Structure 1
Amino acid sequence: MKVTRFAPSPSGRLHLGHAYSAVVGHARARASGGAFRIRIEDLDPGRCRPEFVDGIYEDLDWLGLRFDGEPIVQSERTALYGDALERLKAAGLVYACFCTRAEIAQSLTAPHGDAGTQYPGTCRPLPDSPEKRATTPHCWRLDSGKALELAGLPSWTESDGTRFDGKLGDFGDAILARKDAPSSYHLACVVDDAASDVNLVVRGKDLRPSTPTQRLLQILLDLPEPSYLHHPLVMHADGRRLAKRDLAPTLAAMRDSGVDGTALAAQLLEGRVPLGFQLSEA
């Protein structure tokens, strides 16, 4: 039986790309007699809004998707993320980082891509200073060198059975707890997936680069290994990916215009998208 999850951030209304991911995850769970979970990733207080949480439930209901069990709400689980971070601290696998984004950008020869893999390790050799931490904003980063020395290069399996081996270039000193939030995406994700018994992580292929770091954290924290389904993305007809910040057409707007949600879900499950959109390559 497959246990999947849909894990949106309530920073705006859901769009067609979210619907595609939810439909695929829901179908995989139901086809195996498993469970479909929902997780509200609301750890960013500056962007998340309660009204968008309500909108997520409305949109899933409109699509005809039913989730199992109580929703997981990340803002209610910060103590669990703190416990996981403390385990890594006790093992000497994390360090406090006081760098600002501007400082990191200035120190890089090519400041682009994943900030975790691009970070040059400025704060890594510094001795721990509780006094500085008490007065200076900081995040906590994974010491990827020490972590890989302890755990080895992780591997993972996609849902089609393909096995991938991590490479050194896949890893950086990823942020595990941010200055403005008690946990990063990486740490909260692996803690919550394990707590929800998720054994198939269904998400867009744009999140595939997160997999090596998350597999490393699962090994370090003795968490179960799920398999992964990184599906194609729904794009605009001109090839642009859908994004809330670009005001992508929302499911609420489609509903208001008279679109049948359950018919749309069936269409997406067949790999067909409405006129004006396309699916990316797998």
Structure 2
Amino acid sequence: MGLRENAAAAAGRTLKTDELLDEMAADRVVEEPAPAPDPLADYEPGDDDPDMVPVHLAWLRVRREIRAIAKGAEYNERGTRYNYRAADTVVQYFGPITLKHGVNVLSHRVEATYGSKQTKSGSTMRECSVTVTYHITGPKGDVLEVQSAGEALDTSDKSTTKAQTVALRNLLLNNGLIPTNDRDPDADRLERGAEVPVRSAESYRDEIVDPKTSPGRLQQIGYELSNLRMLGLKVKNETGDMETLDSLGRRIYAERTGGGQ
């Protein structure tokens, strides 16, 4: 009896049984797992739906519409004063434009650490530092994974929420590469006679009345004009009447968002 017969006998099988098993194994067809169904297979775009483009193109379109966000908020407490871009302001810019282009910004994972600090008055503040992993999802469902960090102090139970809010603001500003349109800090070091170019009131008027200018961009123009102290300048509007840039921008914005109805 050969080695194969001995092995089969020791296992309580016959050679014929082993040969039959070998034939069955050879005839067995390995089935590949069925591909996941395409969630957009039966999708029919509506009139207001975004273009079905990859996420990196959709995010680029968002960036094109958000040209700048000025430092419109002011901190002035305990002898410290500075201007900054508030989280709510940043979200107000990004919210309608990401919606327009079918972009979602979703927190995927939050890693938090905590500590405590004493204030000068002796009270204890809870400190939270977070690293948040976000998924920027495009209209087709593909994803960009990015991270952002935030820190916050609070005397009660809101330090985690505040830290995540800061992380979201940093994500939108940093990954959107959004400038402030503030004067360059090095501008004072330019050679004598050099001037920083400033847009004319008429150029702002032309952009405001342009039908292609989105409501989000109209809001940005308002911040820019406020920063440049140009809101009160009068220009000829689309009907030839004199109107301030502030009034013109508010009126056009209301017309395009239905606020004037």
User: Does TM-score exceed 0.5, indicating one fold?
Assistant: no
TM-score (norm 1): 0.21
TM-score (norm 2): 0.22
Q: Based on CA coordinates, which of the two structures has the bigger radius of gyration?
A: 2
Structure possessing the higher relative contact order (Cα contacts under 8 Å, 6 or more residues apart): 1
Q: Which has the higher strand share?
A: 2
